[in-house]
Amino acid sequence: MVFLKKIFRKKNEFALSIERIIGFYPENISFYQQAFLHKSAIKDIEFKSFESNERLEFLGDAVLETITSNYLFCKFPLKDEGYLTQLRAKLVSRQTLNVLGVKIGLNEFINAKLEKESKSIYGDALEALIGAIFIDKGYLAAQQFVEQKLLQNHIDIEEVILTETDFKSRVIEWCHKEKLSFIFNITEQEDKKEKLYHAELLIDNGLKGKGAAFTKKKAEQLAAEEFYKNTLS
């Protein structure tokens, strides 16, 4: 792709850097270059929206979930569907992916023009990278990267099992158990290039938690986390 050559002049050096991260040399370098092109940079340099990493992120998200599901299915043969679902949710959560993205050095490659720091771009870029590997090398290569480079090298499964991350689900379960009504009220605030979402958790019409983030889901999780840590933990 011609537009990517304007951003990454030294193709060979870039490819070698990617090889050190994923464990094999890329065939089609342009996929990997696109995986690190954030939509904020697109607006700055007047590229088209589909040239950002969002389409690869969409694909990588699905590939990552499939690989992780199979990994957990094989690793925990005696665990039921509920257990596997909750553990998978922790492993592919935005928080986990953001940490992994930085751990493997993706922050050195991301091309973004953000006025405010957004940690989610690291997790987004990681998903886009997985999408790029899948297109370039196929499912087995993507599986090798996820299982060997991410799950086995950088994640302590036992620690993840003991760590609570899905506060929204825990709060909802508690409300059902206590027969209490609940609702998450969402308001939007324009923040130039991105929308900022504000969430309020109301339980029996009482305000119990607040959260603000650049996605609705994250804002709701933050509101639920505030209540969970102050009341249920």
Mark whether 147 is an active-site residue.
Answer: no
Mark whether 200 is an active-site residue.
Answer: no
Composition of the chain by helix, strand, coil, percent to 5: 65, 15, 25
CB neighbours of residue 17 within 10 Å: 14
Decide: residue 6, CB within 10 A, 0-12 exposed, 13-18 middle, 19+ buried.
exposed
Which one is catalytic: 127, 220, 225, 226? 127
Residues 6+ apart with CB under 8 A from 132: 26, 31, 32, 34, 35, 56, 60
Length of the chain: 233
Rounded Cα gap, residues 176 and 7, in angstroms: 52
Which one is catalytic: 54, 61, 136, 220? 61
Q: What sign for the dihedral angle of Cα 66, 71, 72, 78?
A: positive
Among all residues, which ones are annotated catalytic? 61, 127
